Structure 1
Amino acid sequence: MADNNGLSRRDFLKTTGIATGALVGGGIIGGLVGYNVNKTGGKVEHTETHGGGNAATQDINRGLMFFTNQNEFHVLSQAVERIFPEDDLGPGALGLGVPYFIDNQLAGNYGSNAKEYMQGPFFAGESTQGYQSRLTRAEIFRHGIAKMDEEAQKRFKKGFAELEGKQMDEILTAFQKNEIDMKGVASEFFFKLLRTATLEGAYSDPIYNGNVNMDGWRMKGFPGHQMAYINVIEDEKYQKIEPKSISSMQH
């Protein structure tokens, strides 16, 4: 369904390269924030959605590994749903399990930057220079989520998770435009991390607790991890292949 600008999420994915397999970077002003969200501009209730279909893709751990504060997790959940919303094409970030994917990643090497050089000197870098912060990703996410809540209280006298959709978009856009003061990292960089992690959770293999029921792949027509294509490689017709997770190879 088209939004007020006459563009659907399908159109957006095509024009930015996502539909062809290339994830967009964080530099596009507006990005996916509020794009065709919820049609009424309201917030999305936080519910666990497991999808249907292949039971093997659902036998995954839904427990939190990083977030011990439920409010932090709810703020994250509402933010990622605004970035990757549900629409008529399929589920959004909540339905795809993206908050759990991010939680699990933050609890591991991704969150601790365990395999990256994290020594000084630390200088404020340009937006094109990549990771420049002394903070780990886990620290950046925790700081960024707290700042989102703080900004919501300043602007609207409510917590971020209690805001209407357009109010959330206003705050997320302020982060993207680097208008929010954060310590040890630029708010623009936090937004890029959040947005990139959202897309990764939507399109990762379900064994990492995102892309529930492989619905992210289905929206793109991506076949996942097939053992072989020898039976169709010479067929000139378009092949619509049911996606498979790595987990299917373990049986």
Structure 2
Amino acid sequence: MDDSHSIPDGGRRDFLRKGLTMIPAVTLASTGLGVTAQQLMAAPTAPAPANAHVPATPASGDYHPAFFTAEEWAFLQAAVSRIIPADEHGPGALEAGAAEYIDRQMNTPYATGAQWYMQGPFVTDAPAEMGYQLQLNPQQIYRLGIAATDAWCLTQMKKNFAAQDSATRDQILGKIEAGELHFDELPAKAFFSLLVQNTREGFFCDPVHGGNKDMVGWRQIGFPGARADFMDWVERNEAYPFPPVSIRGERA
């Protein structure tokens, strides 16, 4: 991202680890569209644990998307890798399978807007407290937003988003977040907010939904997962000593 958005990768991760309101273990994708990159990037970096390890190969490498085209899939993987990047603290959103999670969500009623009120009037400049005001469902937001971003990249830089280096990807995402890129068919900020929200969900969801591979998100923030009972530890003011458990009973 440009200088105003240039935040160390560790800042993003540390905020997620320390300040995130945790997504429930059985979450599906949210309808919220109000997350900004500053919220993900604002905190200082914490010391790395001694046993931190970043996998050499993304956990979702063998996954074949059901909704996204090859070009869209390349964009999505590149984008989530910068929203929650892998670093000395552990795997990032790409390694955790956030892109797979998003693709799986695109084949649910959520992604077609079946769970939303989608009748007019549509007041795109309404205050945020009025709620979602676009005529587009998540499938359409992703399809249009990815196409618009890649078109801008090809015009300005002669190669698409996925072909850019990490620093350039950050700059482009910063421009989208700030609304500096004009997309003909949707607000750039709406696309960015949905992408960030779904990436967070993919990093912290129960692994049954395709993300949070090996429960890496839960392990980084000390979340116990779907354990039947951990109330004995709620007010003890000390770290929960046991690893997380998924809804299927898998243990990290």
Which band: TM-score by shorter chain?
0.7 to 0.9
Residue 136 (structure 1) aligned with residue 137 (structure 2): yes
CA distance in structure 1 between the partners assigned to 2:229 and 2:163 by the alignment: 48
* 1:70-149 correspondence runs (5 A): 70-126=70-126, 128=128, 129-149=130-150
Equivalent residues, number: 225
Letter in 2 for 1:142: R
Further displaced range: 225-234 or 159-168: 225-234
CA distance in structure 2 between the partners assigned to 1:6 and 1:48 by the alignment: 18
Show the counterpart of 1:26.
35
Residue 217 (structure 1) aligned with residue 226 (structure 2): no
Deviation at 1:30, TM superposition (A): 7.7
Q: 1:72 to 1:32 in 2, by over 3 A?
A: farther
Instruction: Work out whether residues 60 and 94 of structure 2, in 8 Å CA contact, stay in contact via their aligned partners in 1.
Output: no
CA distance in structure 2 between the partners assigned to 1:216 and 1:234 by the alignment: 23
Instruction: Work out whether residues 85 and 91 of structure 2, in 8 Å CA contact, stay in contact via their aligned partners in 1.
Output: yes
Letter in 2 for 1:176: E
Residues 72-100 of structure 1: CA deviation (Å, up to 9, x unaligned): 10101101111010011111111100000
| TM-score of the pair, normalised by structure 2 | 0.77
> What are the ranges of 5 or more consecutive residues in structure 2 without an aligned counterpart?
1-5, 25-31, 46-55
User: What is the SS of the residue equivalent to 2:94?
Assistant: coil
| TM-score of the pair, normalised by structure 1 | 0.78
Show the counterpart of 1:200.
201
Letter in 1 for 2:114: A
Q: 1:131 to 1:47 in 2, by over 3 A?
A: farther
Letter in 1 for 2:138: R
Show the counterpart of 1:13.
16
CA distance in structure 1 between the partners assigned to 2:118 and 2:225 by the alignment: 34
CA distance in structure 2 between the partners assigned to 1:7 and 1:83 by the alignment: 11
User: What is the SS of the residue equivalent to 1:214?
Assistant: helix
User: What is the SS of the residue equivalent to 1:247?
Assistant: coil
Letter in 2 for 1:49: A
Q: Percent identity?
A: 35
CA distance in structure 2 between the partners assigned to 1:202 and 1:91 by the alignment: 10
Instruction: Work out whether residues 32 and 84 of structure 1, in 8 Å CA contact, stay in contact via their aligned partners in 2.
Output: no
CA distance in structure 1 between the partners assigned to 2:12 and 2:124 by the alignment: 35
Q: 1:127 to 1:190 in 2, by over 3 A?
A: farther
Letter in 2 for 1:95: E
Show the counterpart of 1:179.
180
* 1:149-168 correspondence runs (5 A): 149-168=150-169
Q: 1:64 to 1:50 in 2, by over 3 A?
A: closer
